[in-house]
Structure formats: C-alpha cells, structure tokens
A and B are shown apart, each in its own frame.
Chain A
C-alpha cells in the first residue's frame, strides 16, 4: 500500500508495532504513530481497557477499528492501566487527526526497558524500510 508522507515526532520513544511512548515520571502515555493511523485509514471505533486492568508484555491492550480492518495495540512491557482516553469513544477520528496528541490511547504504570524501544531516529529508519 502506498502511504503519504507521515511524520515521526522527536522526543518520543517508539516500538516496532508502530506505537509511541512518552515517559513522564512513573507514568507512560501510549498511542499509535502517524504512520500507523495513516495505514489504518479512517478510524471508526476504539475499544479501550478499563482503569486498573493489568497486562503482560505482548498482550492486546486495545483494538482500533477502521471500516474494513482491525488493529491491535500490544503492551510494550508489563503494565497497569491508570487512565484511558475516553474522548476516543465518541470521537475515534481524533486518532487520525492528532495521533501524537489528543489521539493518545492510555496512560500506564510500568517499567520501560530501553532495549525494547526505538528512538525517533531509529523509528524513522524502521518505517522507511517497511
């Protein structure tokens, strides 16, 4: 599939599953990258976890539906949900319009292993190859 130009925001960490992470003290905010939202197309529904849910690395945290596809967001590390972005329940298109900002998915508690994530620069290289 041909993609338009997608941006990679500096200062965030990324995963090979096209998620971004923003560490703020003990809390990590999680979302999907601009590249991910672009390949999904128009997002129509987001299924969010409940606050307090716990996930092991690799578990499915949320699912994002576009008209004819479903994408799963995996836990990049063992974590516990402390907040979910309920704006997405009524306005799932926010993921398309602002993937790195208002379109965040969840805030979690957990320890990020540096080895498991990519820097913005590394991620940019990664999607070029994809």
Chain B
C-alpha cells in the first residue's frame, strides 16, 4: 500500500458545492396545480443546506474516498470476535433480485409469499443450527438481539410473577455489550471473575446463584477462544436456582455442526448473521441478530411472528400475541441481510457449515502455533476459532499492542482486535476464519515476526506507524477535545 498511486486528497463534499449544479432527475408534476396555501405557515424559510453537485462529481467523490478503506476484498482481516470471512458474491446477487425489492411492509400478505417463505425457512435452519425451537428474525444487529433475548427472559419471569429476579450474571471476560444490555433492560449486573485460564470460576458462580438470578450471559467458546468445559455444570447451577441461560452468539463460527447452544443447556441465543453467516459488515451495518429460544419462551417473542398455515398452504404474519415482549423495531428485521444468510446456508448445506467451523478452528490453531513462537500466548493448548497473544515478552522495548497493530497496517494487512478481552493485559485477538488460505496466513505470520524483530532493533518505526497508510497516525485526543462532528460553512 503506497501513499502515492491512486490516493486523492478529497475535500468534504460540501466544499465542492457550486450553486445551480444538479445531479437529480425527478418526475415532473403532471397534475393540475393545487392550492397549497394551507401549508404556508409550516414552510421552510431556508432550504436545507445540502451541497449542489453534478452527477459525475458525486460518483467521483465516493469512488475516491472508497479507495481509502481497507476491506475483506482487499486483504486479510484477522479481527478477533468479528469473523471477517469472505462475503460470497452469490449472496449479493440474490439480495438484488427484482422480486425481493419494491415490497411495502403493509402490502397484502398474498403478494409477499416469497419473502415470508424465505424468512420462515431461514428461521427453521437457524433453529436447527443452534438447537433451539423457535427463532425471531426481527433484531437488527447482535446487540439488538442481545437486548431482545434478555427482554424475553424478563417477560418470562414477569409472567410467572417472579419479580425479585433482578440479577444478571456476567463473567468479566464477556463482551462489553452484555453488561450494557442487561442494564438497559433494567437488570442489575453481577460480574463474576474468571479463572486464570479464562473460564467461569465455579466457586464465584456458586456464590452468585440465588433466587434473585434472572439469567447468566455467556459466550461459548468464550472471548478468549476457549471452550467452557464446565458448561453442563454451569447450566445446572443456574437452572437449579430458577435462572435462565443466555448465549451470546458472537462466536458461533467455531461450533456449527459440532455442538449446539440448545444442547449445552442454553434457553436463549442470539446469532450475528454478519459474522457466522457471511453477510457483509457494510462498514458497520446493517447486520442481523436473530434470536432463538426454547419452546417455553415462544409466547414472549416480539411481534409479529412469521407463521405457516397448512390449510391454505400460505405464510402469514401473526400479530395477536398477548404475552409478547412487544417490538424491537418496526416491521420484521433487516430483510436484505436475511436473504444473504439464507443463500449462504443453501450453498453450504449442513455438511458445509460443519466444514466451515472445522477449518475456522484449524486455521486459528495453526496461526496460534506459529505466532506463539514469538509472542506470548497466555492460554496454553488448543483454542477454538480465535486466540489471544500479547507482547509481554517485549515489555523492555516499551512497545504497546496498539503500536504493533498500527505497524501491521504498513504491510497491507488489517490489525487484530486489540485490548479485548479486558482481562488480558495488552491483548491481541486473532481470528483468521476458514476462508483464508495457508499462504495468506503464512505471509501474515512472517510479517508479524518481522515486526516483533523491529520492536527490538528499531522500536521507533513501530511506535510511529503506520507509514504507508492513506493517513499517518490519527490524533484522537484532539478529536475528543476539539469536537468537530459536522462540516460548517466558513464565511
């Protein structure tokens, strides 16, 4: 990645505005002119200050700035916990099919049977993959699915009149969203420490278990990439005191076809279709966070449910759900994401999904074996689909994880997830995914080893990286202190 080449200094699009230019093409008003004087008191005094640009300039502007992005299509993206696998082009093609576009959410059910069938079938497949009985596709993202799942648990306890259950147990290794979600849903967060190996500490859990427990939120494999070996006992301990088990599905890519949250004892699970099921991340969304539940929680699912009527052989939306937790958003979810995930499942099939998990775990273990030869791996032994290392062996050089991450950029790769999980100091978390080849991983490992050498021989070059990116190291302190979050016209 060189700084010359095709990088442009592209101004903010508002600065390119020339009064009178236009790029739009709107139908004429072919109706007789109407008297709109009733609207006069409500009219805008000043038009919205949007820029005036020609069509070519719009295209050129966004094309130019796009080249400053790193993407899965451009290179290896081993971002732990994010599952940056290849986004198959087949999925893009089917999401753009004419028949899936131009459908109003309130048009008659008879005119949307194809889309409903797709959602019904997708929910069925996701239930099978997770070992759950029912799945809602409404949540728009992982965190949204989490909130939906926790609110399902809340609705269940409330229906039982079990209002003293205010406590949600979360291990300190959990994703930051877990405590935030529990709190937003109105629960008290009870954090328990992990063992030095990163597992749930059963003693701590035992002390936390009482009749005020609403749920425990876990991800398995956990955020350190290790399978929670005591999961059966954990499930029993929580169930015995009347609590439910919530599965954070961020790490499902490790287990498809091998083990299912439902069989581990979980009652609720959310999935990230934009991770495990290969839908693109879109620079931060839209995603989809379907939630699966055991049968006893079905009455509490958000409205509407997508149902099939055997008599009429047609699909319909059921709104009459008196115990439903309500609604997580308008309509039924991010449909275009669901189409892509469905196509992915159809392409891989049951065997292919298991194969994907198998190779995701193999790739992670291979990289871990290689990288732990020159960086410190706090968790010994085999991992699942991701693993953690840190530069504890480089302390004397004063080089931090963030420096190594920025230096990785100079070699055309995306850095790993850094400083997460919080319980490992200076953590770097790698997740290669199954779609990366051995040569790609080998080259990345060579680059990382060379950077570790640099930390000893030329730490300055690491501490001031990146040097070959579209911009140099960002001043994020200035960004916070001198807040500038919109363009403003300077006279």
Q: Do A and B touch (CB < 8 Å)?
A: yes
A41-100 residues with Cβ-Cβ distance < 8 A to B are: 42, 44-45, 65, 67-68, 92-93
B23-70 residues with Cβ-Cβ distance < 8 A to A are: none
For A42, what are the chain B residues with a Cβ–Cβ distance below 8 Å? 477
Cα separation A1 to B392 with both chains bound (whole Å): 10
For A67, what are the chain B residues with a Cβ–Cβ distance below 8 Å? 476-477, 480
Confirm or deny: A2 has a beta carbon within 8 angstroms of a beta carbon on chain B.
Answer: yes
Q: Are A93 and B425 in contact, CB atoms less than 8 angstroms apart?
A: no
CB closest chain-A residue, reference B477? A42
Q: Are B395 and A65 in contact, CB atoms less than 8 angstroms apart?
A: no
Cα separation A92 to B425 with both chains bound (whole Å): 27
Q: Are B480 and A1 in contact, CB atoms less than 8 angstroms apart?
A: no
Confirm or deny: B398 has a beta carbon within 8 angstroms of a beta carbon on chain A.
Answer: yes
For A1, what are the chain B residues with a Cβ–Cβ distance below 8 Å? 425-426
Cα separation A68 to B426 with both chains bound (whole Å): 14
Q: Are A44 and B481 in contact, CB atoms less than 8 angstroms apart?
A: yes
Q: Which of A44, A68, A92 has the most CB of B within 10 A?
A: A44
CB closest chain-B residue, reference A42? B477
Q: B455 to nearest A CB, angstroms?
A: 14
Q: Are A2 and B480 in contact, CB atoms less than 8 angstroms apart?
A: no
Q: A25 to nearest B CB, angstroms?
A: 35
Q: Are A2 and B395 in contact, CB atoms less than 8 angstroms apart?
A: yes
CB closest chain-A residue, reference B480? A44
Q: Are B481 and A93 in contact, CB atoms less than 8 angstroms apart?
A: yes
For B419, what are the chain A residues with a Cβ–Cβ distance below 8 Å? 68
Cα separation A42 to B479 with both chains bound (whole Å): 12
Q: Mark A18-47, 1 if CB is under 8 A from B, else 0.
A: 000000000000000000000000101100
Q: A44 to nearest B CB, angstroms?
A: 4
For A45, what are the chain B residues with a Cβ–Cβ distance below 8 Å? 480-481
Knowing A1-B425, A67-B476, the reply to whether A92 touches B395 (Cβ < 8 A) is no
For B426, what are the chain A residues with a Cβ–Cβ distance below 8 Å? 1
B455-488 residues with Cβ-Cβ distance < 8 A to A are: 476-477, 480-481
CB closest chain-A residue, reference B482? A44
Q: Are B481 and A2 in contact, CB atoms less than 8 angstroms apart?
A: no
For B477, what are the chain A residues with a Cβ–Cβ distance below 8 Å? 42, 44, 67
Q: Mark B78-122, 1 if CB is under 8 A from A, else 0.
A: 000000000000000000000000000000000000000000000
Cα separation A44 to B425 with both chains bound (whole Å): 23
In this complex, the interface size class of chain A, counting residues with CB under 8 Å from chain B, is 10 to 19
Cα separation A65 to B398 with both chains bound (whole Å): 24
Q: Are B480 and A65 in contact, CB atoms less than 8 angstroms apart?
A: yes
CB closest chain-B residue, reference A92? B481
Cα separation A11 to B65 with both chains bound (whole Å): 56
Cα separation A93 to B398 with both chains bound (whole Å): 24
Q: Which of B395, B425, B426, B477 has the most CB of A within 10 A?
A: B477
A107-127 residues with Cβ-Cβ distance < 8 A to B are: none
Q: Are A2 and B425 in contact, CB atoms less than 8 angstroms apart?
A: no
CB closest chain-A residue, reference B425? A1
Q: B139 to nearest A CB, angstroms?
A: 27
Q: A97 to nearest B CB, angstroms?
A: 13
Q: Mark B389-404, 1 if CB is under 8 A from A, else 0.
A: 0000001001000000
Q: Mark B426-460, 1 if CB is under 8 A from A, else 0.
A: 10000000000000000000000000000000000
For A68, what are the chain B residues with a Cβ–Cβ distance below 8 Å? 419
For B476, what are the chain A residues with a Cβ–Cβ distance below 8 Å? 67
For A65, what are the chain B residues with a Cβ–Cβ distance below 8 Å? 480
For A92, what are the chain B residues with a Cβ–Cβ distance below 8 Å? 481
For B425, what are the chain A residues with a Cβ–Cβ distance below 8 Å? 1
Q: Which of A2, A45, A67, A93 has the most CB of B within 10 A?
A: A67
Cα separation A44 to B482 with both chains bound (whole Å): 9
For A44, what are the chain B residues with a Cβ–Cβ distance below 8 Å? 477, 480-481
Q: B480 to nearest A CB, angstroms?
A: 4
Q: B426 to nearest A CB, angstroms?
A: 8
Q: B110 to nearest A CB, angstroms?
A: 52
Cα separation A67 to B425 with both chains bound (whole Å): 18
For A2, what are the chain B residues with a Cβ–Cβ distance below 8 Å? 395, 398
Cα separation A74 to B425 with both chains bound (whole Å): 25
Q: A95 to nearest B CB, angstroms?
A: 12
Q: A91 to nearest B CB, angstroms?
A: 9
For B398, what are the chain A residues with a Cβ–Cβ distance below 8 Å? 2
Q: Mark B302-332, 1 if CB is under 8 A from A, else 0.
A: 0000000000000000000000000000000
Cα separation A31 to B480 with both chains bound (whole Å): 22
For B395, what are the chain A residues with a Cβ–Cβ distance below 8 Å? 2
B359-412 residues with Cβ-Cβ distance < 8 A to A are: 395, 398
Q: Beyond A2-B395, A42-B477: 15 further Cβ-contacts under 8 Å?
A: A1-B425, A1-B426, A2-B398, A44-B477, A44-B480, A44-B481, A45-B480, A45-B481, A65-B480, A67-B476, A67-B477, A67-B480, A68-B419, A92-B481, A93-B481
Report 9 cross-chain contacts, Cβ distance below 8 Å, ordered by A residue: A1-B425, A1-B426, A2-B398, A44-B477, A45-B480, A45-B481, A65-B480, A67-B480, A92-B481
Measured CB to CB, the residues of A under 8 A from B are 1-2, 42, 44-45, 65, 67-68, 92-93
